[in-house]
Amino acid sequence: MPTFTVFRGDKSGAPKKSTTTKPDELTGDSVLLKVTASGLCGTDLHYKTADMVLGHEGVGVVEALGPDCKLLKKGDRVGWGYEHDSCGHCRQCLTGTEQYCNERAMYSYADLDQGSFASHAIWREAFLFKIPDGMTDEEAAPFQCAGATVWTALMAYNTRPTETVGIMGVGGLGHIAIQFANKIGARVVVLSGTDSKKEEAMRLGAHEFIATKDQKELKVNSKLDRLLVTTSAQPDWDLLMPIMAAGSTIHPLSIKPVVQTFPMTEEGIKEAMDKLDNGKIHFRAVLVPQ
């Protein structure tokens, strides 16, 4: 029976190196992956004291496939995210909203013996995504959760190139949202507390930048058709509502990402988590197996 190296949460708050054992034979559309990179998400901090394998922004290389696999082959680079299974036949699954399936399996709720903080993992082919050749493993990892979160907010509600899209915050989610909205063709207005991130926001694709701290009133060249709130703290809604267009929508959310890499070791994971917890990560942290 194969044994994988994994990193589990611990009551001390410092993840510990451990092992997970899996059956010899792969069944169904199961795929054995060698993990090559893992994003570190803010959600991982919530479970750093839980007895479970951490990580859900994973990228890896296919090493073996179950008998029912049809799309992947050995050597393919793939990623996976927060949800890793569903029934496949309910109304939600058949209409592309499997995240609402009553039988869905998600990080921290199911399969607690494996995650992306690991040497290997086994997931269903149906929940793996091929990584484009032009993207590194480290760049791809944050897209598996942070990128999916932002993309869903933009595309599930039919964002159009004619819209003006506001992005509140230039952090782990916000810096990706700026790039996505720009690539869609929308006019991008970034709102942040101070001017400290203006230069970077403009480089990422913003067309207009507004510093909101200590402002009594905000002025924009064009009112916002859509606002993505990527900050953890609630904004001043009284300040924002006057710059929203009639019929606009607000999406509270709690292209290549900007990443900092850390070794996937006990010490590396603890350092990355401590920096994320203290707001010292520059956009996204990625753990790399040693």
Amino acid at 184: I
Please give the span between the terminal C-alpha atoms of the chain, in angstroms, as a whole number.
23
> DSSP letter string over 103-125?
T-EETTTS-TT--SSBSEEEEEG
d(CA 121, CA 118): 7
Its pTM stands at 0.77
Q: Which residue, chain included where needed, has tokens 């290997």?
A: 120
Give the residue extent of every domain in the chain.
Answer: 3-144, 149-252, 259-288
Say whether domain 149-252 belongs to CATH 3.40.50.11720: no
Q: Which of 120, 8, 115, 126 is nearest to 62 (CA)?
A: 120
195-204 long-range contacts, CB within 8 A, separation 24+: 197/170, 200/170, 200/175, 201/170, 201/175, 204/170, 204/175, 204/178, 204/179
pLDDT truncated to tens, each residue of the chain (290 aa)? 789 999 999 999 999 999 999 998 999 999 999 999 999 988 899 999 999 999 999 999 999 999 999 999 999 999 999 999 999 999 999 998 898 999 999 999 999 999 999 999 999 999 999 999 999 999 999 999 988 888 888 887 889 999 999 999 998 889 999 999 999 999 999 999 999 999 999 999 999 999 999 999 999 999 999 999 988 778 899 999 999 999 999 988 754 567 889 999 999 999 999 999 888 888 888 888 88
CATH number belonging to domain 3-144? 3.90.180.10
d(CA 286, CA 259): 6
pLDDT of residue 256: 56
> What value, to the nearest 5°, has the Cα angle with vertex 225 and ends 252 and 142?
45
Query: Mind spelling out the 3-state secondary structure of 228-259?
Result: EECCCCCCCHHHHHHHEEEEEEEEECCCCCCE
pLDDT of residue 65: 97
pLDDT of residue 254: 58
33: β partners: 62, 121
pLDDT of residue 10: 96
